[in-house]
Structure 1
């Protein structure tokens, strides 16, 4: 690719919307599997089957970070595919409302279950907030989006201030106080992978990637494997209650 071609790829807009892309559904399904594995280990720790701190250190911590990053990256790609050819506000607000309602449900349930570390700004809250930002910066060229992503990644290192210490600013990730939550995904630095996904969506459209991927349908087996990715919000909401019930049941029977 020549420098001119690269510049065109980084600034071009999507000519139209491709159909549903099985490869992206499979990617979401893979992220959901990784999330379920991590939460299973978290539940084992909760019920005393593994050592305290197992899920928050070493490879398990890395798995959690990579999984959250992949969800946000894919959400950025999806936002571009849905609105890169033109903002569709009614559809956007319907999806935003679903995610926000699910986030509120998670907050309510965890406030009752773990009031000292409830989820007030977890992955769903972060996706909802990042989607609003994404719609505002949708028309930036890919290089601009990448620059903003770099700023989001770097912000916790240079922009922390006591100004952000009140709890109503904790969604920024720029406070100087310690925050307790079983799932905390503030915009700094987690807006970064979302914006990278938005940039990747734009670049992919400029190169015709998404239309090529949309033509690949795979076999019936691939379609079945992609099912969780097509219903990712439902799977996200249901998987942890199921896992906790299984671990709690095993604990009751075996101890």
Structure 2
């Protein structure tokens, strides 16, 4: 399998780096596996406590990787967009993209409120990514220094998690004592993870180009189509390219399959 720096269209337009899709694909598959375990416990099909131990660490790792790689992707997109867009169109691009994701998050809020009730997703990962993308143009200018800003945001997030407050502070990580949600990624600390992704993008992809190619960190190799790793890699890349669609449909599909297995409607 031949890979260039970038995958291109016939017009030679830069589209994406394969390793970003690979990591994003790994993250979405990892998230699906965690949600299968969560649903087995939530619907009392199997006694699997996903709130403690290694499974909980696995869940945090999966969410962190998903948010982190989103930060890297936004930096890459920004590096390419700033040469072709005016400042106004540049800001509008990320406002519209973030608003779209946040709107999808609101749809999930509505759906979980209707079908689940207790545990309604008020500020989940799509809400987080939507706001993070809207804010990203104001932080991308700091490039690799976003590492320190990200660490600061994460640190504040741990402090906020110990506090209780009014409902409207939920997006910041300060919640009422009664608050419970099936998916909760507030800006503090999770926006810090997003900023770490931006910092990493600035370090390893300056100008939107792969810097570490010269170091041999990633060596492009020609592989035959039947190569096992090639098949595995392309599968994850495919999932990475369609991660949003997969994220939106995976829970209904999991619930449908578990309903068929258990012989009862689970919602």
TM, length-normalised to structure 2: 0.78
User: What are the within-5 Å matches in structure 2 for residues 29-40 of structure 1?
Assistant: 29-40=25-36
Structure-2 residue corresponding to 1:46: 42
8 A contact 1:117–1:182 mirrored in 2: yes
Cα pair 2:204 2:212 within 8 Å, conserved: no
Unaligned 5+ segments in structure 2 are 1-12
- The one of 229, 242, 249 equivalent to 1:238 is 249
The answer to whether the Cα contact below 8 Å between 2:75 and 2:201 also exists between their aligned partners in 1 is yes
- Kindly indicate whether residue 136 of structure 2 is the aligned counterpart of residue 134 of structure 1: yes
User: 1:175: Cα distance to partner?
Assistant: 4.1
Per the alignment, in what secondary structure is the counterpart of residue 137 of structure 1?
A: helix
Rounded to whole Å, the distance in 1 between the matches of 2:257 and 2:206 is 46
What runs of 5+ residues in structure 1 fail to find an aligned partner? Answer: 1-16
- Kindly indicate whether the alpha-carbon contact (under 8 Å) linking 2:153 and 2:192 is maintained by their aligned counterparts in 1: yes
Give the match for residue 110 of structure 1: 112
CA 1:198 to 1:111, structure 2 compared with 1: closer, same or farther past 3 Å? same
Structure 2 counterpart of 1:251: 262
Q: Is the 8 A contact 2:101 2:130 kept in 1?
A: yes
SS of the aligned residue for 1:48 comes to coil
The structure in which a higher percent of residues are helix is: 1
Partner of 1:165: 165
Partner of 1:12 in structure 2? none
1:152 maps onto 2:153 in alignment:
yes
The correspondence for 1:27, drawn from 23, 28, 37, is 23
- Residue 3 of structure 1: aligned partner: none
1:8-55 Cα offsets, whole Å, 9 max, x none, are xxxxxxxxx954111111111111111111110111112212226x12
Shift of the alpha carbon at 1:181?
Answer: 0.1
1:204 corresponding residue in structure 2: 204
**1:170: Cα distance to partner?**
0.8
Name the SS for the 1:209 alignment partner: coil
Q: Distance in 1 between matches of 2:95 and 2:255?
A: 32
Change (3 A) 1:216 1:137: farther
Rounded Cα–Cα distance in structure 1 between residues aligned with 2:44 and 2:71: 37
The 8 Å contact of residues 98 and 129 in structure 2, kept in 1 or not, is answered as no
TM-score by length of 1: 0.82
Q: For 1:73-112, what aligned pairs fall within 5 Å after superposition?
A: 73-85=68-80, 86=82, 88-112=90-114
**Structure 2 counterpart SS, 1:128:** helix
The alignment covers a number of residue pairs equal to 234
